[in-house]
Each structure stands twice: as C-alpha cells, then as structure tokens.
Amino acid sequence: MLKILLAEDDKNFGHVLKKELEEEGYIVDLAIDGVEAALDFIGGAYNFVLLDIKMPRLDGINALRIIKRLNPDIPAITFSGNAGSGEMAESVRVGAIRCLTKGRTAVRPYLIILDSRSKTLRE
C-alpha cells in the first residue's frame, strides 16, 4: 500500500482530502504545517507528498525544498486556494509535479495524478 504525506493547515479540507485518499486505498498522514511535514517526512517512509503552498511556520515551497534535499526523487504535488501564479510556478521549479488550485471539486485531479504515479511505482 502506498503512503502519502499530506500537509494542509485548513483542517476541514485536510480531513476531506485525507478521507477521500484513504477511500481510494492510500495510507495518509496529515501534517498541519510545513514544519510538521518536514519532520514527518524525516521520520516516515512516504511514496508521495501533497503540500499546501500557504501554511504557517513554514510554507509548502520551503517544506518541499527540505523534502527534496532529503529525497530528490519523491513525487510531490502542491496546491493552493490563494497563491499567486508566481508561487505556483516556483513550487514546480522546486520539484512539484504539478500545482493544483485547492477546492472541494479539485480532489479528483489529485487521484488521477497519484494513480498514474502509483502504476509506475508498482511496475
């Protein structure tokens, strides 16, 4: 079973996304900010990372920088409800596969991207 680290400071959205990913068969750990995400990544064996860009203490872009230093090959998706296009592009430059717009209707794109990456990891 594949394990995902999800970093999201919006508790409602974080729990909805976590639940839907778990229903698809993923194991999901939820971090509430970038610091917690980086620490969880150090202590866990993850197959994917999903990071909100705008979070307290440490934003998703800088958390991704730390995570990519620890494991340059980890697939990551960033998302945001209010980041500008510059921040979204920066997250991709840092190493995200894609940056998605956050919203309740955006859960399906995460699953499509993760499913395509899961097949690659399983082969």
Residue ranges per domain, the chain?
3-122
pLDDT at 120 over 60: no
Asked: is 3-122 a CATH 3.40.50.2300 domain? The reply is yes
Tell how far CA 33 is from the center of its chain. Answer: 11
Token pair, residue 1, equals 């079973």
Residues 34-90 pLDDT 10s: 999 999 999 889 999 999 999 999 999 999 999 999 999 999 999 887 766 778 888
Q: What's the chain's average pLDDT?
A: 85
| Residue 122 pLDDT level (bands cut at 50, 70, 90) | very low
Can you tell me the mean pLDDT for 18-47? 93
Global pTM reads 0.85
DSSP code string of the chain: --EEEEE-S-HHHHHHHHHHHHHTT-EEEEESSHHHHHHHHHHS--SEEEEESS-SSS-HHHHHHHHHHH-TT--EEEEESS--HHHHHHHHHHT-SEEEE-SGGGHHHHHHHHHHHHHHHH-
CA distances from 44 to 40, 67, 73, 102, 115 (A): 6, 11, 15, 25, 21
Positive or negative, the CA dihedral 60, 61, 65, 71 is positive
Alpha-carbon distance of 13 to 113, in angstroms, equals 18
The Cα angle at residue 60 between residues 54 and 65, in degrees rounded to 5: 150
Q: What percent of the chain shows pLDDT beyond 70?
A: 80
